[in-house]
Amino acid sequence: MTILNYSFVYIFLLGTLTPLFITPQPLVSKDLPNSDIVDDTIMEQYGEIARQIIGEATATHRGYKRLAHLSDYYPHRLSGSEMLEDAIDWTLEELARDGIPVIRTQDVEVPHWVRGSEFASLVYPYVKDLPMLGLGGSVRTPTDGITAQTIVVQSFDELEERSNEVPGKIVVYNQRFEHYGQSVQYRVWGADRASEYGAVAVLIRAVSPNSMGHPHTGGIRYSGDVPKIAAASISAEDAMLLHRFDQRNDPATVTLYMEAEMKEETAVSRNVIAEIPGSEKPEEIVVIGGHIDSWDIGHGALDDASGVIVTWEALRLIHEMGLQPKRTIRLVFWTNEENGVMGGRAYRDKVIEKGELERHQLAIEVDFGVFKPLGFGFLGSDEAFQMLKPIADLMSSLRSMHLREGAYGTVDIGPLQREGVPIMGLDVETEKYFWYHHSAKDTIDKLDPDEVAECIAVIAVMAYVVADMPGRLAWSVLPPTSF
């Protein structure tokens, strides 16, 4: 799959997020003290250190082994779960063993959704189990389930055109996967749109270019303006099967049973924060990290144990090599990215409260898997972009790396970016990422140990140089939003 060169913008509504591909908005430079353009001397100054970092990072598969431990022993890290908190406890113990000098947590209130038992089955024209996953935040079905005829549509426009056929039916969305930002709209808004016309439940084709017979979960949104109906994902193959019956004017009948429940009381989770204090400007901060939570299926290895581990290993490597940059490098494992982004919001609120916001030099998040690294995407001012561009050349011993405008995989640092903080996402080969995303197939065997090591290397180089470089990055002032 080719990732288009657009920026990701995330809209958060009622605890769910919708990624949209849009053209980046114009940025206005906000000068900060000691802001200057880095010239060609960046290679001269940091070339040897970068080569050493890359050599150390790629000499072992230590990061891959730690990633395997996290995803194998703590696979279902959904917000509110005991397993998520156990995983957080493990990271704290391991960070202490690594000798990281500053380690703490930040309590975060998070939504607590429980899947419960669930199943779907075809009952006409014959009996067949339909692999399914309830969508995060969905309501439950009645206690005896729902058995109803299906109506299959490929778009919201077709749903509207056939709205008179919808009452009392289960709406099945057989939307094609063009790109994630397009297809995910049916997952997020599909239940509400179908409920407008009297549907009793919805089934969403897996948001994936290659479902391989399994469904993909993810968050949904209820507006509160129409009745809440149960929503689940089914495989692309089964969505197409149901569509063929519909096209023959012989619609299938399906039974759907779900015990899903959003608990009335929120749960308390934690952001994990660990730091290497800066040698000259410890009050200035470069943030790196990923989100520690995952969905309650699969092992959350790609999404996002991998982002947690490669940023963690980058910090550990810098510390073990005895490198102490001028600024503080802060590692953050955000909680609740998948169904609320409360960790990212809580971090932003805390740094504003402590007067630390404008001390942030840059924030980097890894949340798109850790396949072969290709460079970085950036959101910020033109001045900051030009300052950062030469750093990509320091990684040429691996391959040619780019720095491009626009970033993806940056949900948790989105709240910082909306305040003007420059942000980056790691660009990797993503052809197969959505094959496994939010599914039972998200396990560590999909990742290559050498590519994991390379991702650690490029994060470590970028974080170290940005934390040590003489100049402050120019900030941006963005137009006001509801984010």
Cis peptide before 412 (omega within 30 of 0): no
pTM over 0.85: yes
Q: Show the 3-state SS of 409-444.
A: CCCCCHHHHCCCCCEEEEEECCCCHHHHCCCCCCCH
Within 13 Å, how many C-alpha atoms sit on residue 138's CB side? 33
How high does pLDDT run on average in the chain?
Answer: 91
- Domain spans of the chain? 7-112+265-477, 114-262
What percentage of the chain reaches a pLDDT higher than 70? 90
CA gap 49, 270 in Å, rounded: 34
* Phi and psi, residue 158, nearest 5°: -65, -35
Helix (H) or strand (E) holding 191: helix 180-196
Q: Which CATH code, of 3.40.190.10, 3.40.1190.20, 3.50.30.30, 3.20.20.70, is assigned to 114-262? A: 3.50.30.30
How is 337-376 classified by DSSP, letter by letter?
TTTT-HHHHHHHHHHHHTT-GGGEEEEEE--S--SSEEEE
Q: What is the pLDDT of residue 480?
A: 39
Report the pLDDT averaged over residues 257-270.
96
Predicted confidence band of residue 8 (pLDDT cuts 50, 70, 90): very low
Mark whether 165 is an active-site residue: no
3-class SS at 13? strand
Within 13 Å, how many C-alpha atoms sit on residue 149's CB side? 11
Report the pLDDT averaged over residues 28-44.
54
pLDDT tens for 465-482 read 999 999 999 997 644 333
Q: What is the pLDDT of residue 483?
A: 29
CA gap 361, 32 in Å, rounded: 10
What does CATH list as the number for 7-112+265-477? 3.40.630.10
> Does 139 have pLDDT greater than 80?
yes
Which among 275, 284, 313, 337 is annotated as catalytic? Answer: 337
> Does 9 have pLDDT greater than 90?
no
3-class SS at 469? coil
